[in-house]
Amino acid sequence: MPMENLEPKKVFKYFKAISDIPRASGDEQAISDYLVNFAKERNLDYIQDSSLNIIIKKPATKGYENSKKIILQGHMDMVNEKAEDSNHDFTKDPIELILDGDFIHANKTTLGADNGVGVAISLAILDSNDINHGPLEVLITVSEETDMHGAQNLSDKVLEGDYLINIDSEEEGVMTVASAGGELYFAHFTPEIENLPKDYTSYEIKFSGYKGGHSGGEIANNRGNMIKVMADFLNKTPESMLIDFNSGSKDNAIPRNGFLKIALKDNSSFDKIINELKEKYKDVDGKLIINYKEIENVEKAQSIKSTKTFSNYLIEQHTGVKAFTDSSKKFVELSSSLAIVKKIQDGTYEIWNSMRFGKADEFKDFKNEFISISKKYPEVKYEFINYYPEWEYKEDSILRDIAIDLYKETTGKEMTVDITHGGLECGVFYIKYKHLDMISIGPDIFEAHTPRERLSVSSTKRMYEFVLKLLEHLK
């Protein structure tokens, strides 16, 4: 891809460099070391902490020495999702970038513009000597896409800034000023295993066709949840015995495909059930595709009773919007996304359900629903993990006011102020650094966390130029 022809040249140069480095959440050593070398090569002060977070510092330009100190912030990890027919190996293969008109997308994988473009913008600024700015810190964290442990483990004494500009939003012209908190419901289901009866035949049923997407930003949209469809199918099959159930790969991505392996006396009900499900879920975005085939060499499976119990348990799990902030249904208050169901090595099933909330005091009752459901099933052991706090809306924000006025002045358009149901690290920073004045902005990114993820080139250029103007105005 001719990245060198795109403007701004430095932004896309670094976006390409970042895309060449595998950087799944939890596997950030290489990208963290790349950022250290970037700082060393430019004689910039830096910190690489024990979690592999990076802070790079650059002195103020002439005339800005007494300005407010500014933090540009993003995260170095990305969500690794790929199409079923992709052979991409996220542990070693670079992301293959494809330019298609105004958009960059990857070859059947997630692009990593979330948040590679935010990091690239920050690096381009650090690598330039003709940009006016106050004392500058660039903070790039690890594992934002999973448990935010990079932000969670960041020292509360390391940052010196007054303003924090998070470049991890995905819609140009929209400024995020508050975000959801969240926690993960994590459970194990222990099945009862039996020998298959001799008159039983085994089948693999594949489910596909849904769009998936980010379980924060897309949860109120009509994306469907393939785990629910699969549990529904399993529940409807008479006298079935479950061999395997697998759907979902990331706790913050809505599951879009999966497979079941089941055994039963005959499959004469399959076509009827498939047609019923297609009718039931006909309004979901995408087109539900269900295919099945006979498989051999299966000797054991869950008992009929255990199979029914498991499907009932999954059906009872809440997924989707639980509550909106008000009757306008513009902002989601509570939600959950049944994100992953998979069999692990010991034969039990892991169940991951990602819960999000706007206000912590309204979250308790929602958690209690998960507790009540879990206690109905002796086969289930559960815990709540990976908590991260919400970012509360701040009534008075000088940074927000300056950015809104500047956007109107430079574009002639009003900037929309938004509260996102996605989780942002700003919530963690809000707890650690109460004095920080924060906003979150970014260029147009579409369908993040899916293989259809794409980044607008022109929007990236406009957002970069806006950030430069904002830095210049924060004098």
Catalytic positions, written as ranges: 77, 144
**366 near 334, Cβ under 8 Å?**
yes
Torsion of CA 251, 456, 24, 357, to 10 degrees: -30
CA 254 vs. chain centroid, Å, equals 9
**214 near 253, Cβ under 8 Å?**
yes
Query: How many Å apart are CA 299 and CA 436, to the nearest integer?
Result: 60
Closest CA relative to residue 210, chosen from 274, 113, 281: 281
Burial class (CB in 10 A: 0-12, 13-18, 19+), 129: exposed
The set of residues, in sequence order, having a beta carbon less than 8 Å from that of 37 and lying 6+ positions away, is: none
**178 near 391, Cβ under 8 Å?**
yes
Radius of gyration over alpha carbons of the chain, in Å?
24
